[in-house]
Structure 1
Amino acid sequence: MKNFRYPFMVLLGGAMYGTMSSFVRLIYSYGYNAAEIAFSQALLAALFLGILLSVSNFRAAKTPLSRRDLFSLLLTGGIIGITNFLYYQSVSYISASLAIVILMQFTWFSLLLEWVVFGQQPGKAEGITVIFILIGTVMAGDLLHAKELSFSWQGIVLALASSLTYAIYIVANSRVRKDVKWQSKSTLIMVGSAVTIFIVNAKTILVSNHFGYDFLGWAIFLAVVGTTIPTALFAVGIPHIGAGASSILMTIEFPVAVICAHIVLKESVSPLQIGGIVVMLAAIAAMNYYKSLKTSKEI
C-alpha cells in the first residue's frame, strides 16, 4: 500500500487536471479569455499554497535553498504556467478532442527527454504501456468519426507546444530539489507560474480583463481543483516515482476529460471512446501491477 501511495497522488492530480478543459470551455462562453483564466488560476493557487506554507511547521528543506535552486523551482513553475496558457489558447483554434489528443503526446515526450538528456532508457513495461495508451488515445478521441473537426495549424502548433512543455515540467519536477518539502516546492512553482503568465500576457491581463465577483468564483474553483491540489500532489508524488512512470499515470487526464465533457458539456460519448478509455486505464493498471511485483521481488 505504501508503494502505491505516490503513484496514486500522481494519478489523482492528473484526474483533477482532466476536469479543467470542460470547465474552461464553459467559462469561455461568458467572454473570459485564456490569459486571465490561466493567470488567476496560478496567482490564487500561489496565494493558497503560500498561506498553507506559512501556517505549517515544516522547514523548507534539509539544507537551505540556494539562488540556483530557487531559480530552478520558479522556472519549473513558469513551464507549467506556459503549458496551461498554450493549451487554453489551442482550444480557441481547434476542437477540444483534437487538442487533448495532441496534449497526450507528453507521455512519450517525457520518456524521450529522460532518455536523451539523462540517459535513462525506458523499460519494456513503460514502452508497451505507451503503445497501448496511444492506441487508447486515438480510440477515445474518436477523431475518424467526428462530424466536425476544425483543423488549424496555429492551434495544432499551440497544442503540440503545450504537450512538450508539459513533458519538460514533469521531468523538471522529478529532479529539482527532491528534499524540498512539498509546501515550499509547490508554492514556489505556482509563484513562478503566475509571474511567467503575467510577463507573457501583461497587456491582456491589465487591459482586457473581466475581473469581478462572478469571475472570482470561477477563478477560485479552477485554482483549487485544477491547480493548488494537483500541484501539491505532483510535488510529493513525481520525485518518488520518476518522470517516466508519472507521465504514463498522468494520461488519466484524457479519459477523465472525455467523461467530464459528457457530464458538464453534454457531449456524446461513443462506444469507441469508451473502449479507448478502458484500454488506457487497463494499460496504466497493468504497468503499475508489473512494477509493484518487480519492486517486491527486489525487496
Structure 2
Amino acid sequence: MEKLKGSLYVALAAASYGVLASIVKYANLQGVHISLLTGGQFFFGLLILGVLQIREKKRPNIHDRKSMLLYGLSFGGTSIFYYLSLLYIPVSFAIILLMQAIWMGVVLEIIQTKKVQIKKVLGAALAILGTLFAADIFNVNTRIHPQGILFGLLAAMSYTCNMYASNRVATNTGNLTRSFYFILGGSIAVSAYWNLDLLQHFEWKHFLYWGIPLALFGTIIPPILFTIGMPKIGTGLGGIVSSFEIPVSLACAYYLLDESLNTFQWVGVLIILISIVLINLNKKGRTN
C-alpha cells in the first residue's frame, strides 16, 4: 500500500510538471512575456515555500545553504531555457528535448562512478534514437529551429543538475527547507538573466493571473510530492513513474494548443519511455 501511495504521489508530481509548458505557451501566445511568467513563478513559489518551511526542525548549516543556493541556479536555468525554447518549437518537441536529461544523467553517473553499465548505455542510445523519431527528423518537410533546439538542450542540462541536487545535496535538511533554498537559488538566476525585462514587461494583472498557477504547478506541488513519494518507492521505480510527465505534457499540448504527433513521433515517444524503464531496471529485472 505504501509503494502504491508513493507511486501516486510521484505520478501527480510528474503530471504537475507536465502541464507547465502548455500554460506558458498559451500565455505567451496571449502576449505575456516570458520574463514575467518565470518571474511570477519563482516569486510566488519562493513566498509560499518560505512560509511552509518556517517550522521545519531539520535546518541546514552554512555549507548546505551555500550548496543548495548554488545548485538552485540550475532550477532557474531549467525554467528559463525551457520556456525560451517554447518561443521556437512546439510543446511536444520541447518536452522531448527536456527528456534528454535521461542520457545526460547516465553520462554524469559514468563520470562520477567511472563505471559503465551496458544496459544504461543501451538505454541512453535508445533515448537518443527515440528523440530522432519524436522530433520527426526523418521527414524532409520538418523545419529545424536551431535556437529552439539549443534552448531545449540547455534546459535538459539544467534539469540533469536538478535531479542530481534533489538526490544528493543537503539530504539531511527538511524537504520544505531544501525546496525553499533551491527555489531561492533559482530566483537569483531568473533575476540575473531577465533583470530589466522583469520591470519593462511587468503587469500586476498578468503577474498574479499566471504567476500563481505556474508557482503551484512548477515550484510548490512537485517538490513536495516528490520528497514524499520518492522515499517510498526508490529512485528506480521513481524514475519510471516520473516519465508520466511526457504523456501528460503531450495531452495538454493537444487539448490546449491543438498540437498533434504523427505515427513516427508516437513511436519515438514509446522508444523514449522504454529507454527510461531499461535505465532504471537492475539485473534481476526489478527497479532499483
Establish whether TM, by shorter chain, passes 0.5: yes
AA of the residue aligned to 1:206: L
Match of 1:228 among 211, 220, 234: 220
Match of 2:264 among 272, 276, 279: 272
Q: Distance in 1 between matches of 2:73 and 2:279?
A: 31
- Could you report, residue by residue, the CA deviation over 1:183-241 in whole angstroms, capped at 9, with x for unpaired residues? 111122112211221122121102232x2224412221111112211122344556884
Alignment of 1:214-293 (within 5 A): 214-236=206-228, 241=234, 250-284=242-276
| Unmatched tracts of structure 2, length 5 or more | none
Query: Contact 1:94 / 1:149 at 8 angstroms: preserved in 2?
Result: no
- Does 120-129 or 169-178 show the bigger shift? 120-129
- TM-superposed CA distance for 1:69, in Å, is 0.5
Q: Distance in 2 between matches of 1:79 and 1:284?
A: 22
Aligned to 2:170: 177
Q: Distance in 2 between matches of 1:46 and 1:258?
A: 28
Alignment of 1:109-258 (within 5 A): 109-116=104-111, 118-119=112-113, 121=115, 123-145=117-139, 147=141, 149-152=143-146, 154-209=147-202, 211-236=203-228, 241=234, 250-258=242-250
AA of the residue aligned to 1:265: L
Query: Contact 1:82 / 1:196 at 8 angstroms: preserved in 2?
Result: yes
Cα 1:108/1:100, change in 2 over 3 Å: same
Describe the SS at the equivalent of 1:19: helix
> Structure 1 length normalisation: TM-score?
0.81
Q: Distance in 2 between matches of 1:73 and 1:125?
A: 32
Query: Contact 1:140 / 1:255 at 8 angstroms: preserved in 2?
Result: no
> Structure 2 length normalisation: TM-score?
0.83
Describe the SS at the equivalent of 1:231: helix
AA of the residue aligned to 2:33: N
Describe the SS at the equivalent of 1:268: coil
AA of the residue aligned to 1:23: I
Q: Distance in 2 between matches of 1:177 and 1:19?
A: 28
| Unmatched tracts of structure 1, length 5 or more | none
Alignment of 1:51-90 (within 5 A): 51-54=51-54, 56=55, 58-59=56-57, 61=58, 64-90=59-85
Query: Contact 1:35 / 1:205 at 8 angstroms: preserved in 2?
Result: yes
AA of the residue aligned to 1:195: I
Kindly tell me the number of residue pairs found equivalent between the two proteins.
Answer: 287
Query: Contact 2:126 / 2:271 at 8 angstroms: preserved in 1?
Result: yes
- TM-superposed CA distance for 1:275, in Å, is 3.3
Query: Contact 1:167 / 1:247 at 8 angstroms: preserved in 2?
Result: no
CA RMSD in angstroms comes to 3.2
- TM-superposed CA distance for 1:121, in Å, is 3.6
